A and B are shown apart, each in its own frame.
Chain A
Amino acid sequence: MDFELTEEQKDIAKAAREFAEGEFDKDYAMECDQEHKFPRELVRKAGELGFIGVHYPEEYGGAGLGALENALIVEEMCRVDSTLGLCIALPDFGCEIIKWFGTEEQKKKYLPKVCSGEWISAGIFTEPDHGSDITELSTTAVKDGDEWVINGTKTFITNGEIADFGVILVQTDPDAKPKYRGMSTFIVEKDCWEAADVGSKMGIRATSTAELSFDNARVPEENLVGELNRGFYQVLEFFDESRIEIAAQALGTAEAAFDRTMEYIKQRELHGKKLAEFQITRHKIADMATKIEAAKLLTYKAAWNFDNGRRIDPVLTSMAKWFAARTAVEVADEAIQLHGGYGYITEYEVERIYRDAKITEIYEGTREVQKNTIASGLIGKL
């Protein structure tokens, strides 16, 4: 057993950190958060330097690396700033489906532009009535000649207003039983939908979250990704990879809160002592650090497992996802507590980190959904 990252992995983490420390600015992050502004230029710069989509093959603009290297970049970026870091993690959202199931033409057309930071994609699954449960969908695609006609409404779509294209999950065979055996994924370009912002949200406010409506949107047959009616399974497999990235986002966000707190408790004096001298503070720090370390081990192991061609293990991925997410929320909460009143003020970063942390327990499968996955994996059919 070897817990060391390879030299290349360490170099990658360091390069990501250097980029983030050099380019991220606290005031700008705050501005993006307050004004719901997406840091488009920053994303382009990160793309040029190869920080987006390292887990795609080199022939499609990636670096030919794996989920672990991607996780390291996302972790480091979110650790420097949870708001801006996430914006660099998500521009390829959904593209893993093209990577795994797409045709050569699809991969060539879409992946390089995403990896270079020129294009932004969206993963379009959730519907107003179908979130955790996507075994049934209202959005449909009906074949008409050599085109498919899509109708329906999707919601909570990250990058919805800024994406150049997305991968959508729709019902192609409404009569299938169970329904999820009649779903397929398509690549849809931005002129296929009308986007409407879902409104002010708690955290990750620099990202766009939108409702997308599809009204007789036509896509050519060649935009079908993979096999017809296998979409649901593709999305589940996609989650096995993408949830690792969200675990890394959570991990970095937890570390961001932790770093700020460590600095603060060493400075803050009360009752003639440094905050860091109180035993209760020290135990809190010990708890936070332990949870972070555990989250890190789970995340890295899930990524390593994914990259090493083992049996894809949704149990492990879900463990990493919910645990890292919970850790982010708990550590951010404790960070605010230790900052006292200052922690509640936006200027002191931990307030924003706290708001940014919570989403990791919701999107890409809520905590409960992850636990369902783990339990059914472990217990099986009774």
Chain B
Amino acid sequence: MDIIVCVKRVPDTSEADVVITGKDIKKDDLPFEINEWDNYAVEEAVQLKEKFGGTITVISVGDEDANEVIRRGLAMGADEGVRIYDPAIEGSDGVTIAKILAAAIKNMKYDLILTGAQAGDLGEGIVPVALAEMLGIPHATLVTGLEIQDGKAKVKRELEGGLMEVLEIDLPAVIGIQTGINEPRYVSIMGIRKASKKEIKLLGLGDIGLTPEDVGEAGSLTVLEELSVPPVTKVAEIIEGDPAEAASKLAEILKEQGVL
């Protein structure tokens, strides 16, 4: 089975002070990593390969830095890496990223395409479902269970409230992976060694039959206008002091509030 996995490199802002600079945030000091959802997608692909054989190709749209997450995918067990880039891509919205991926993928051989259900930085959740539509193949996103049998995928989609929707879809298909579907492995030194011997294929817009007008702001139907710090609707009263003091004060407050 030949599997394509779409991966994105994202900054980790969970513990950072985010500083807005124009239409972006300051990213120099932020740690970058593979999008958490994509990490699960790569692991799922590797597990499928271990079971059924075949190849895995990791693909990312982004500048040179994106090689890092492609190499990570290769180190986890993927066979080939592809990066698509052109400066004109800056400013592309989610649908346009899907368009770029579709343009590249339609010339490739695949039985299954895995993506993350969403990217942790912008959280649009557009790419998997848009990509499937563009390629004219079935899809399911927010998938927490995947079984392949006889050219079909039995998937569990996670709905609200812990409910699962169980579906069967024909392959090839795009599956948007939700976190928790598996336990991603650590990258091993052996994996890194293998990955670094592999050439990551670089595709420009011309290679995939697109022009600069098709991508970026020009090719996108949505435009980012401005970024701002969310207005504070309510702020917690912060209990000051060292950990012991703060904890004691909190215990007192809980008592006053009648919780204890």
Q: Which residues of A contact B (CB under 8 A)?
A: 7-8, 10-12, 14-15, 18-19, 22, 48-51, 54, 63-65, 268-269, 342
Q: Give the number of chain B interface residues (Cβ < 8 Å).
A: 16
Of the candidates B192, B240, B242, the one whose C-beta lies within 8 Å of that of A15 is B192
Partner of B190, one of A7, A18, A63: A63
A63, B186: Cβ atoms closer than 8 Å: no
* Chain B residues closer than 8 Å to A19, beta-carbon distance: 186
Q: A11-B75, A49-B189 are in contact. List 10 more A-B contacts (CB 8 A).
A: A7-B71, A8-B196, A11-B192, A14-B187, A18-B187, A49-B186, A49-B190, A50-B188, A63-B190, A65-B189
B193 in the interface (beta carbon within 8 A): yes
A82 to chain B, nearest CB (A): 21
Question: Please, how many angstroms separate the alpha-carbon atoms of A54 and B189 in the complex?
Answer: 8
Are the CB atoms of A269 and B188 closer together than 8 Å? no
Bound state CA distance, A63 and B190, in angstroms?
A: 7
- Chain B residues within 8 Å of A48, by CB: 188
CB distance from A373 to the nearest CB of B (A): 31
Interface residues of B (CB under 8 A from A): 67-68, 71-72, 75, 186-190, 192-193, 195-196, 240, 242
* Chain B interface, >50% SS class: helix
CB of A7 within 8 A of CB of B189, answer: no
Cβ B186 vs Cβ A64 within 8 A: no
Q: How far is the CA of A18 from the CA of B39 in the complex (A)?
A: 13
Give A63 to B193 CA distance when docked, in angstroms. 7
Give chain A residues whose Cβ lies under 8 Å from the Cβ of B192.
8, 11-12, 15
B15 to chain A, nearest CB (A): 10
Question: Smallest CB-CB separation from B187: which chain A residue?
Answer: A15
Pair A11/B71 contact, Cβ less than 8 Å: yes
Which A residues lie within 8 Å of B186 (CB)? Answer: 15, 18-19, 22, 49
- Given the known A-B contacts A11-B75, A268-B242, A269-B240, are A51 and B189 also in contact in the complex, defined by CB atoms under 8 Å? yes
Contacts of A15 in B (CB 8 A): 75, 186-189, 192
Contact sample, A vs B, 13 pairs, CB 8 Å cutoff? A7-B71, A7-B196, A11-B72, A11-B75, A18-B186, A18-B187, A19-B186, A48-B188, A49-B187, A49-B190, A50-B189, A50-B190, A54-B189
Query: A11 to chain B: which residues have CB within 8 Å?
Result: 68, 71-72, 75, 187, 192, 195-196
In whole angstroms, what is the CA distance A50 to B185 when docked? 13
